[in-house]
A = this chain, B = another copy of it.
Amino acid sequence: MDLSTVIGIVAAFGLMVSAIMQGGSLLIFINVPSLIIVLGGTIGSALVHYPFGDLTSAFSVARKAFFHRRHSSVDTIGKLISYAGKARKEGILSLQSVMNEIDDEFFLKGLQMAVDGQEPEALKDMLEREIEYVMERHTKGADIFNALAAYAPALGMIGTLIGLVQMLQTMDNPSSIGPAMAVALITTFYGAIIANIVCLPIAGKLQIRSSSEVLNKTLVAEGMKSILEGENPRLMEQRLHAFVAPKERQSNFGK
């Protein structure tokens, strides 16, 4: 669970709702046809822009903004160092026994390949190719949310223009102008919310999550190669520490 995403969305929507309710009923701001035209139109434009598969995969990637297993690089390095020691003492095959401690698919795959007797370079190449596809998928996900954030306000404006034109055409009763215009503005309101409180921030979080996930996978790829090559665990730790920020460089050896 990504607390900052959840708190952020709850806070933004909560403040908005409470601000609305201070000034009147929340019901004025709930207008299903307006929501359908903005949300439906935005998704329609996105379907013309992107193939089905890309869109559904973007929504599945977007869950990372909400549910995100934190990758602790301290943890990952720690595990890699301990496996390196084990492999040096008891042989590569002994890593089979640690595979049930790991629940990260990518790490498991690396271990499996090591146990299967892959060459170090081949293993690193394959893991790195995997990392590239992960990055590509994440970037595409962020791109799609940025595109949604561009279409939503445009569709909101189109909805408002529809409302305005209808209101202006039938302006015989002045007392009806206000409410009609209020309804017309609601699509603009929805478009602004979809873009600025939902899509743009999610696109941003995806990009950030992607780099932390890629960092973690890179540590695994580098570490597994090191293990296969039988590198000295202390040297391996030093090399892995070069990838992480200074405050996350906790040595697994006494000083």
Residue ranges of A at the interface with B (Cβ–Cβ < 8 Å): 2-5, 7-13, 15-16, 19-20, 22-24, 28-29, 33-34, 36-37, 40-41, 43-52, 54-55, 65, 129-130, 133, 147, 150-151, 154-155, 157-159, 161-172, 175, 177-179, 181-182, 185-186, 188-189, 192-193, 195-198, 200-202, 204-205, 208, 242, 245-246
* Residues of chain B within 8 A of A50, CB atoms compared: 4, 204-205, 208
Q: Which 7 A/B pairs are nearest by Cβ-Cβ distance?
A: A8-B47, A12-B44, A171-B178, A48-B201, A49-B204, A168-B182, A8-B48
- Distance of A170 Cα from B179 Cα, bound (Å): 8
Tell me if B162 and A23 are in contact (CB < 8 A): yes
- Which residue of B has the minimal Cβ distance to A144? B204
- Distance of A10 Cα from B45 Cα, bound (Å): 10
Tell me if A208 and B12 are in contact (CB < 8 A): no
Return the contact of A185 from the options B165, B182, B196 (Cβ within 8 A).
B165
- Minimum Cβ distance to chain B for residue A68 (Å): 9
Tell me if B208 and A185 are in contact (CB < 8 A): no
- Distance of A147 Cα from B208 Cα, bound (Å): 14
Tell me if B192 and A157 are in contact (CB < 8 A): yes
Tell me if A208 and B51 are in contact (CB < 8 A): yes
Tell me if A158 and B192 are in contact (CB < 8 A): yes
How would you classify the secondary structure of chain A's contact residues: helix, strand, loop or mixed?
A: helix
Tell me if B33 and A19 are in contact (CB < 8 A): yes
Tell me if B4 and A19 are in contact (CB < 8 A): no
- Distance of A242 Cα from B33 Cα, bound (Å): 47
- Distance of A155 Cα from B208 Cα, bound (Å): 23
- Minimum Cβ distance to chain B for residue A213 (Å): 13
- Distance of A44 Cα from B181 Cα, bound (Å): 29
- Which residue of B has the minimal Cβ distance to A154? B196
- Distance of A167 Cα from B5 Cα, bound (Å): 32
* Residues of chain B within 8 A of A23, CB atoms compared: 162-163, 166
Tell me if A189 and B158 are in contact (CB < 8 A): yes
| Most chain B beta-carbon contacts within 10 A, residue among A20, A48, A155 | A48
Tell me if A48 and B193 are in contact (CB < 8 A): no
* Residues of chain B within 8 A of A163, CB atoms compared: 23
Tell me if A133 and B245 are in contact (CB < 8 A): yes
- Distance of A161 Cα from B20 Cα, bound (Å): 10
- Distance of A40 Cα from B15 Cα, bound (Å): 7
- Distance of A15 Cα from B189 Cα, bound (Å): 18
* Residues of chain B within 8 A of A12, CB atoms compared: 40-41, 44-45, 48, 155
